[in-house]
Amino acid sequence: MNEVDVSHYFDFCATTPLCDVARDAMMPFLGQDFYNPNQKTFVGSLRVARKIEDAHQKILMKLCADENDHLIFTSGATESNNLVLRGLCEYYDTQSEKIHIVTTAVEHASLLNVALDCSRRGHEVTVLPVNRQGQLSAEDVLQAIKPHTKLVSIMSANNETGDLFDVISLAKAVKNKFPKLHFHSDMTQSCGKMTFDIKNSDIDSISFSAHKFYGPKGCGGLWLKKKSYYDIKPQILGGGQQNQWRGGTLSVAPIIGMAEALDFSLATYAQKQSEYRQWQHGIYEELSAHHDHLLLNTDFNSSMATVVNISVLGLKGEEILLALPEYALSTGSACQAHLSQPSHVLMGRGYTKEEASASLRLSWGHGTTPESIKNMLTQLSQVITQKRRQSLSYEMLTSLT
CB neighbourhood size of 117 (10 A):
15
Specify whether 118 is catalytic.
Answer: no
Pairwise CA distance, residues 364 & 193, whole Å:
12
Local structure of 321: helix, strand or coil: helix
* Cα separation, 238 vs 267, whole angstroms: 37
Closest by CA to 257, choosing from 212, 219, 207, is 219
- Rg from Cα positions in the chain: 22
End-to-end CA distance of the chain: 48
SS3 call for 13: coil
Give CA separation, 107 vs 80, 184, 291, 378, 394, in Å.
14, 12, 31, 33, 31
Q: Which of 173, 174, 196 is nearest to 186 (CA)?
A: 196
d(CA 143, CA 277): 35
Active site residues: 335
